Amino acid sequence: MSNRAPIKSVDAFAYTIPTQEPESDGTLEWHATTMIYVEIRAGGQTGIGYTYAHACTAALVRDLLAGVLTGKDALQTGARYAQMVAAIRNNGREGIASMALSALDVALWDLKGKLLGAPASALLGATRDGAPVYGSGGFTSYDQAQLAAHMARWVGELEIPRVKMKVGREPWRDPRRVAAVRESIGPDAQLFVDADGAYAPKQAAELARRFAQSGVVWLEEPVYHRDLQGNALVRSLVPVPMEIGNGEYGCSPATFAQILAAGAADVLQADVTRCGGFSGFIAADGLCQSQTRPLSSHGAPYATLHAALAAKSLRHIEFYYDHVLIEQRLFDGAAPPKRGVLFADPTRPGIGLQLRRPDAERYAA
């Protein structure tokens, strides 16, 4: 194959950003978020990408995947993706290796956009100018008053008519917390809940019945994500029109195909920073088209935007609290949504983001 833009260098940096206060969901507690930021240089341009993963992911980029990419053609994103997938085989297709690969795939699409002078969404085949978002946060670490105010802010101040809260840490309290949030956001906003795998299947079905009384229309990962039969059982038991969302940990098309085949999701979720970057997200979109199922993105909204603008099955982007704070603080070009819709700036090539290096370096891990 020709090589019009040989890759000169690949770099990776880890930044650990503390949360404003300790946070938790149904199954995890944390007090900081680590971003792995990558750069790929070719043809006088620099492509950027990132993922949220342990700092060791940066070493995997530098020690393994940089060598796979260096010297190869930056424009042949499909070949670069396939070679990275082949190179991580012995390190595990699902997990950190795919998160490294995902950051690099996004950087390759950003680089291609800069080399060709076009937004990444145009190169991917844009289907829309803006993508709807839903506000996502509502941690289980918040007391009820804090939770209600936090959720009301998405709908009121930020004008986003869809919001998601965490459940599952103290299941017996969940119906009351959900009812309090419904009261705070008013009758019209869509309300989603995410259990992060905390429930048992029949417990989830019973709680879903009670959540439905507060107008909950989306129950995410009710039981452990690898328990596809358990998730499918819950999906068969929840009241109509509640939908089950699943897929945020998927790293490969094979995993998404298994979730869909098991009937474990009404809406497939895919995370650009885990599922293979834009290449993997568009593959997940193809699987959704094959089953006429909607696709919703997970995490990292500003890394996701251009792939979401291209995905034909897209329903919405998760506008996740922790990641929004980090991305709006560290990147130029991370503009807020307008009335619940996130738009790309058509004058910016690639993914339209630029790291504010001095701000990021304060958090060097």
d(CA 38, CA 46): 10
Of 232, 216, 215, the residue nearest 224 (C-alpha):
232
Determine the residue with CB nearest Mg ion: 194
Q: Could you tell me the smallest distance in angstroms from the CB atom of residue 79 to Mg ion?
A: 32
Helix, strand, coil percentages (3-state) for the chain, rounded to 5, are 40, 25, 30
Closest CB to Mg ion among 12 and 244?
A: 244
Cβ–Cβ under 8 Å, residues 100 and 66: no
Closest CB to Mg ion among 84 and 198?
A: 198
The region of 47-55, 151-159, 187-195, 227-235 touching Mg ion under the rule CB under 5 A is 187-195
The region of 1-9, 53-61, 189-197, 258-266 touching Mg ion under the rule CB under 5 A is 189-197
Which residues from 21-60 bind Mg ion, rule CB under 5 A?
none
Structure tokens at 226: 């690898």
Closest CB to Mg ion among 194 and 327?
A: 194
Q: Could you tell me the smallest distance in angstroms from the CB atom of residue 27 to Mg ion?
A: 10
In a 10 Å sphere around its CB, with 0-12 CB exposed, 13-18 middle and 19+ buried, how is residue 27 labelled?
A: middle
d(CA 255, CA 275): 10
Cα 96 from chain centre? 15
Q: Could you tell me the smallest distance in angstroms from the CB atom of residue 196 to Mg ion?
A: 6
Which residues from 210-229 bind Mg ion, rule CB under 5 A?
220
Catalytic residues: 166, 298
Per rule CB under 5 A, count of chain residues that contact Mg ion: 2
d(CA 179, CA 301): 28
Amino acid at 168: G
Cα 192 from chain centre? 16
d(CA 300, CA 339): 19
Closest CB to Mg ion among 194 and 285?
A: 194
Q: Which residues pair with 24 in a beta bridge?
A: 29
Which positions from 118 to 137 touch Mg ion by CB under 5 A, shown as an x/- string? --------------------
Closest CB to Mg ion among 138 and 337?
A: 138
Q: Could you tell me the smallest distance in angstroms from the CB atom of residue 268 to Mg ion?
A: 13
Q: Could you tell me the smallest distance in angstroms from the CB atom of residue 299 to Mg ion?
A: 9
Cβ–Cβ under 8 Å, residues 108 and 74: yes
Q: Could you tell me the smallest distance in angstroms from the CB atom of residue 269 to Mg ion?
A: 7
Which residues from 234-293 bind Mg ion, rule CB under 5 A?
none
Q: Which residues contact 156 (CB under 8 A, 6 or more apart)?
A: none
Hey, how many other C-beta atoms are within 10 angstroms of the C-beta on 162?
23
For Mg ion, the binding residue among 39, 110, 194, 322 (CB under 5 A) is: 194
Closest CB to Mg ion among 110 and 194?
A: 194
| 8-state DSSP, 335 | P
Residues in contact with Mg ion by the rule CB under 5 A: 194, 220
